[in-house]
């Protein structure tokens, strides 16, 4: 995967397959500490100790369509290549959290990519799941929460094209507002 947004998409899709109804995606860009951090948490079924031990094995996957699970091993490698780290915690019946740090200014750090597109794809494909996206930089914080959006929409389905277009624009504008001036 060439963009971090695609890793986020992969992890969030894993969360939905695990029955998650709430998924949080938190990103922090810290210029002072030279860290780019991503945390993706869910309230899905979680993993037992054996599954958690095997999650970084590229030949282990719970997916039925393909028999390799390269997403998390590739993400871990990408983080470590920049001097960062990777961790995953999970509890059965509670959920899973994937935490990854990268060297923010490291030349090998993958670009964030199309976060607005990934969020819209997740919402479109999982209209009954609530997504919370938070992105912090030294210039501010942007938040998008589908629970709040649904509340405002009342009876209008969140997957209507007009709503999805609004969400995409809102995320794009929000991220532009907090973008680094570097």
The predicted model gives 140-153 an average pLDDT of 96
Q: Which domain holds residue 122?
A: 4-178
Domain count, the chain: 1
CATH code, domain carrying 149 = 3.30.565
Helical segments of 18-145, H only = 49-54, 71-81, 115-125
In order of 67, 90, 129, the CA distances from 64 in angstroms are 7, 21, 22
- 16-31: per-residue pLDDT in tens? 999 999 999 999 999 9
Is the entire prediction scored with pTM above 0.75? yes
Identify which of 78, 75, 39, 72 has the alpha carbon closest to the alpha carbon of residue 56.
72
């Amino acid at each position: 995967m060439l963009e971090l947004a695609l890793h986020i998409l992969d992890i969030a899709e894993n969360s939905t397959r695990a029955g998650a109804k709430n998924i949080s995606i938190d990103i922090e860009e810290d210029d002072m500490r030279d860290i780019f951090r991503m945390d993706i948490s869910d309230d899905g079924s979680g993993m037992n100790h054996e599954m958690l031990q095997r999650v970084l094995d590229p030949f282990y996957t719970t997916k039925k369509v393909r028999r390799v699970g390269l997403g998390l091993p590739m993400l871990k490698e990408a983080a470590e290549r920049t001097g960062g780290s990777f961790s995953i915690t999970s509890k059965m019946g509670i959920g899973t959290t994937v935490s990854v740090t990268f060297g923010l200014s490291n030349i090998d750090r993958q670009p964030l990519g199309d976060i607005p597109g990934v969020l819209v794809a997740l919402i479109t494909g999982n209209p009954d799941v609530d997504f919370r996206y938070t992105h912090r930089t030294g210039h501010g914080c942007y938040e998008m929460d589908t629970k709040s959006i649904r509340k405002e929409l009342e009876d209008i389905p969140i997957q209507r094209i007009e709503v999805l277009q609004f969400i995409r624009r809102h995320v794009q504008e929000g991220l532009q507002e907090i973008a680094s001036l570097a």
